[in-house]
Structure 1
């Protein structure tokens, strides 16, 4: 009954909306659409009749795979939950050859936990979390996503606040630098690493097999589209580089001769800025941004080295060999 009703409704949609020449064509389309389930049913019956053994075998294989995945997930969950009280399980991408992590957000969060003396374990096998983002954490049996939200949660839960001494104006400046870094500079990193770099050096940094290069080329279009939707990808390469240069220059000017962005002691915003600038210093060899930081804005280079020495004394030991 519902199919007849829907078919009548479809046949009476104004022809102008559908862009068809006559009602007969509209009626024809409706028959194709609403007859489709019947065609699928008929096809399935034919396949079952002619290839019953193959169908059963396929279903059995799929079932085994799903069961194994379920068992694996339960085992992993048990391991994460047994990490210990207030011990963070940090789920992120794998290590790289020149930088502990090629994700500025993973590096940001890990730097924060080192700054906070929070105990944590690293899980590289499950980098994508419940929100489809990386990094994410498991803490006391519960999952949390988004690096900034995680930092705020852990800061409140474990009483780790490095910005409490800042006045309202300073907090506003720190917030503005955070957004500029993660919502604008980030796209310069994406543009170079996943779209523009002619040598696909990210392959070497992660020691990926050659066939990953083919995959990278296949998904390049996705990142081009993302850059276009964001807006920065609509500009010429020269304009894009200049936009990111102004971001880098702004950070350099604000840092000046200070030890850290907000003064003599590091704050949460330093974790985010270090996470991003580290990609330019160590994670994008040959990029125009790497050249800028290492030659034109050397106070940012020294800033990164300072944080590296303070919170990452084991930096070299963590690199992918």
Structure 2
């Protein structure tokens, strides 16, 4: 579920309406801020490739509402399983904790607004808390953006 429907539905929302921001982030990562003007040239190319890939994979065949339902269901399953525990299997982080952190952080810490991030913030406080626990416990030297 995490590497399938959660990944694809979250990626759909983080990229669908944000191709220019995504292009700017890629350019900044690779070349610094000097080529940011290219983002509006690269964005349509990325958008086209994104749409083709997600159409083939299946996520692009769903409506936004269907993708939101899929994402919400996956996040609800994660939050339900986590319950009141600090970590999925007790008092120490496990591989599952790291996997959930990685997939949620990949859309949660992006510097632009999108529906997947809003959904986690508004409906899944235990997941947000879990992400912050993992961040603090295992990645305290790294500064995540928000």
Partners in 2 of 1:193 and 1:217 — Cα distance? 16
TM-score, normalization by structure 1? 0.40
Query: What is the alpha-carbon distance in structure 2 between the residues aligned to residue 205 and residue 221 of structure 1?
Result: 18
Alignment gaps of 5+ in structure 2:
none
* Structure 1: gaps spanning 5 or more residues: 1-179
Map of 2:13 onto structure 1: 192
- Pick from 55, 69, 79 the counterpart of residue 242 of structure 1: 69
- After alignment, is 296-305 or 188-197 more displaced? 188-197
Query: Partners of 1:310 and 1:241 in 2: how far apart?
Result: 30
Identify the match of residue 137 of structure 2 among 282, 285, 310. Answer: 310
Higher relative contact order (CA 8 A, sep 6+): 2
Q: How does 1:68-107 map to 2 (within 5 A)?
A: none
What residue number does 2:22 align with?
202
In structure 1, C-alpha distance between the alignment counterparts of 2:56 and 2:111, rounded to whole Å: 23
Q: Distance between the aligned counterparts of 1:300 and 1:251, measured in 2?
A: 8
The structure number with the bigger radius of gyration is: 1
How many pairs does the alignment contain? 138
Cα distance in 2 for partners of 1:217, 1:181 equals 28
After TM superposition, give the deviation of residue 204 of structure 1 in Å.
5.1
The corresponding residue for 1:289 is: 116
> More strand by proportion, 1 or 2?
1
Q: Secondary structure of 1:201's partner?
A: helix
Alignment correspondent of 2:103: 276
Could you tell me how far 1:203 is from its partner in structure 2? 4.4
- RMSD (Å), alpha carbons: 2.1
Secondary structure of 1:266 counterpart: coil
Higher helix share: 2
Contact 1:260 1:303 in 2 (8 A): yes
Contact 2:13/2:114 (CA < 8 Å) preserved in 1?
A: yes
Q: Does the aligned pair in 1 maintain the 2:14–2:116 contact within 8 Å? A: no
The residue number in structure 2 matching 1:36 is none
- Structure 1 runs of 4+ with >2 Å offset: 192-198, 200-208
Deviations 1:146-191 (A, max 9, x none): xxxxxxxxxxxxxxxxxxxxxxxxxxxxxxxxxx111221112332
**2:47 counterpart (216, 220, 232):** 220
Q: TM-score, normalised by structure 2?
A: 0.82
